Structure 1
Amino acid sequence: MRALNHRALRRSMLALLCLGLLGPLAARAADNTPALTVGLIAASTAENVTEDWKPLIEALARELQTPVKVLASKNYADISGALKDGSVQVAWINNKLAIELVENDQAAVFAQMVRLDGSRGYKSVLFARKGGPIQSLADVITRPGSYSFGAGDKKSTSGYLVPNYYVFAKNKIAPEKHFKQLSHANHMDNFLAVADGRVDLATNNTEELPRYQAEFAEKFARVSVIWESPLIPNDPMVYRKDLPVATQQRIKKFFTAYGRTEAEKATLKRINGLGSFRASSNYQLRPVVDLELFQALTNAMAENAKSPEKLAAVMGALTKRAARLDTVLNATRLDSP
């Protein structure tokens, strides 16, 4: 009987020992947090952006106890496509890209970038060379065929959507016809093109100005801002809708808590002069959705003015899209801070 008790005791002790050793691993397996890839839009270079985000990405990997990789690209379509096909699960993107992903039920906004000064918005700008022939927006509008223009990526909010509406659509200008030369590039390349005299005019935004002033002081002194847009909501952070809910919650909690230590504050400052990430939702896209739909309506009316049938069809499609987006955004309105 004693032998049986000893064997039972040894089995019990072994079971307890195994439980103690495997407990953390079992808990991690039960949590089942998948490996992640974070997508980042590179306003300068992919290498610079990856380096700026490195401490945050490493902290996220420690928090989730899972590998976290980075995909950084100057090409907006690279990040958007990777989110769509599932090779990227979390991303920093602009409002225009976020609208497309939210509309297709592929991703959701969970946080918004907040600047060091507490601001939650930025402005699109037009740059011209200081002392050059373009001194005001009126110079651009009244002299068709005179200047070269560096536009942003067609999926850029501040580099394309906003100036296309406020500067061109409202003045009944088609950029491809108005300028003697039209090119598309990212923000830094457009800034350098104006500073070096390779284009006369280019788009940019107020988020990037402090970086240029710090890194390219001499070149920055060669350019001037001739136009600023109304305020645009700061860029969102999104995650894919098919991530486990528990993982989504942990990611959101991590980002909205990040920035409490001095090291974390320094990292956020390097990431485009940020102060924090604020909890947000799809509803933050409302102003840009309204802008995009109004521009689409303006373009449709101009392009189909002589064809009532085509205009009616386009208007019907736009009305359906507006209703669909209204439903998607309002569904998260009560969750918006």
Structure 2
Amino acid sequence: MINRRIMMTSLAAGLIAPAFRSAFAQEWKAKYPELIFAIIPEENASGTVERYTPFCAYLSREIGTKVTLRVVQDYAALIEGQKSEQIHVGWYGPASYARAYLTGAKITPFVIEVSSGGIKGYYSVFYVKKDSPYQSVADLKGKNLGLVDPNSTSGNNVPRFVLDKMGIDPDKYFNKVVYTGSHENAVLAVQQGTVDVAANWWNSDDDSNLTRMAKKGMVNKDDFRIIYKSDIIVNSPIAYLDSLPEDLKAKIKQAFLEAATKDKDAYAKLSDGKDDPFQPVDHSAYEPVVNLVKFIDGLRKKNG
């Protein structure tokens, strides 16, 4: 008799649990009829929207609620959007994620982008015009330097770090330091002669911001030359709000991890088909970048 009661209780629990989970899912769907997925533009706004719209449509299908793309002005806007919980999922650069973490954003990185061949890192490079006389940073004293954004890893933090290791304070060494606002604008500033050298991201000879611009006919790749390449930098994370329900976070993470197989075309469009599938990540991968950002903050205070 006792065994029968236990069996009936277990059966009832088994029937109730799926119903409870379903009700819980409906509860978060009511609370989150729309999720905001934010990125910063690496290219012009129309190009960014074209690149990400199919992926957002895929996420909407997989997660079961509308995912809306928001192209924010810069990393500071992304950070503030997540701190105010107006942005649910954000695609960061490593340094901007570190900045968000250091300024109290309640977020967790859950996947990392992976370059072709399983590489979870990229580089910061300095570009000059191919026909310029500059062969090294030493040749550029008194010239104009183009950086991307104060919270860009490859476009500001790593360049300032490596310049400091060379004994160079960029704000004193160069005639002018210009923040261009985007990686594309930094390349265009070199092309147009606004700056003599500019920082940018680079994965490989056929996968960089420069090659993407060349593919769109914006520049000729062969008009530029790299005079410095950094050590490898951990790839960019995507982070969601800690306040999201656990089962919603699980669905978001699963959708990202399965994107490369479930919607190959949408995923390939993100990186011109040059990235491997997303992989799981956590905060520990970015501790070195947190320390880098702290170092850069120290430089600002010292030189300020």
Give the TM-score normalised by structure 1: 0.75
The farther-off stretch of 249-258 and 100-109 is 100-109
- Which of these two proteins has the greater Rg computed from alpha carbons? 1
How many residues get paired? 275
- For 1:77-113, what per-residue CA distance to the aligned partner results, in whole angstroms no more than 9, with x for missing partners? 2212211111111011111121133341511100000
- Between the aligned partners of 1:102 and 1:179, the Cα distance in structure 2 is 31
Match of 1:123 in 2: 123
With over 3 angstroms needed to count, the CA separation of the structure-2 counterparts of 1:107 and 1:100, relative to structure 1, is: same
Structure 1 SS opposite 2:256: helix
* Cα RMSD (Å): 2.5
Match of 1:56 in 2: 55
Q: CA deviation at 1:298?
A: 5.4
Does the 8 Å CA contact 2:98/2:293 hold for their aligned counterparts?
A: no
Does the 8 Å CA contact 1:196/1:219 hold for their aligned counterparts?
A: no
Does the 8 Å CA contact 2:135/2:227 hold for their aligned counterparts?
A: yes
With over 3 angstroms needed to count, the CA separation of the structure-2 counterparts of 1:66 and 1:196, relative to structure 1, is: same
- Between the aligned partners of 1:295 and 1:100, the Cα distance in structure 2 is 11
Does the 8 Å CA contact 2:28/2:245 hold for their aligned counterparts?
A: no
State the AA in 1 paired with 2:52. Answer: W
Does the 8 Å CA contact 1:195/1:220 hold for their aligned counterparts?
A: no
Match of 1:183 in 2: 178
Give the TM-score normalised by structure 2: 0.82
> What runs of 5+ residues in structure 1 fail to find an aligned partner?
1-24, 305-337
State the AA in 2 paired with 1:163. Answer: P
Higher strand share: 2
Does the 8 Å CA contact 2:63/2:255 hold for their aligned counterparts?
A: no
Tell me whether 1:29 sits opposite 2:40 in the alignment. Answer: no
Match of 2:14 in 1: none
Q: 1:160 aligns with which of 147, 156, 159?
A: 156
Q: CA deviation at 1:215?
A: 2.3
State the AA in 1 paired with 2:257. Answer: T
- For 1:27-76, what per-residue CA distance to the aligned partner results, in whole angstroms no more than 9, with x for missing partners? 75245361200001111122222221112211211222212111113422
Match of 1:238 in 2: 239
Structure 2 SS opposite 1:96: helix
Match of 2:65 in 1: 66
Structure 1 SS opposite 2:132: coil
Tell me whether 1:75 sits opposite 2:70 in the alignment. Answer: no
Q: CA deviation at 1:303?
A: 4.7
With over 3 angstroms needed to count, the CA separation of the structure-2 counterparts of 1:199 and 1:297, relative to structure 1, is: closer
Q: CA deviation at 1:254?
A: 1.0
Q: 2:198 aligns with which of 189, 197, 202?
A: 202
State the AA in 1 paired with 2:243. Answer: D
With over 3 angstroms needed to count, the CA separation of the structure-2 counterparts of 1:133 and 1:98, relative to structure 1, is: same
Match of 2:169 in 1: 174
Structure 1 SS opposite 2:277: strand
With over 3 angstroms needed to count, the CA separation of the structure-2 counterparts of 1:78 and 1:217, relative to structure 1, is: closer
- Between the aligned partners of 1:40 and 1:298, the Cα distance in structure 2 is 28
The alignment-based identity, stated in percent, is 26
Does the 8 Å CA contact 1:116/1:274 hold for their aligned counterparts?
A: yes
Does the 8 Å CA contact 1:46/1:74 hold for their aligned counterparts?
A: no
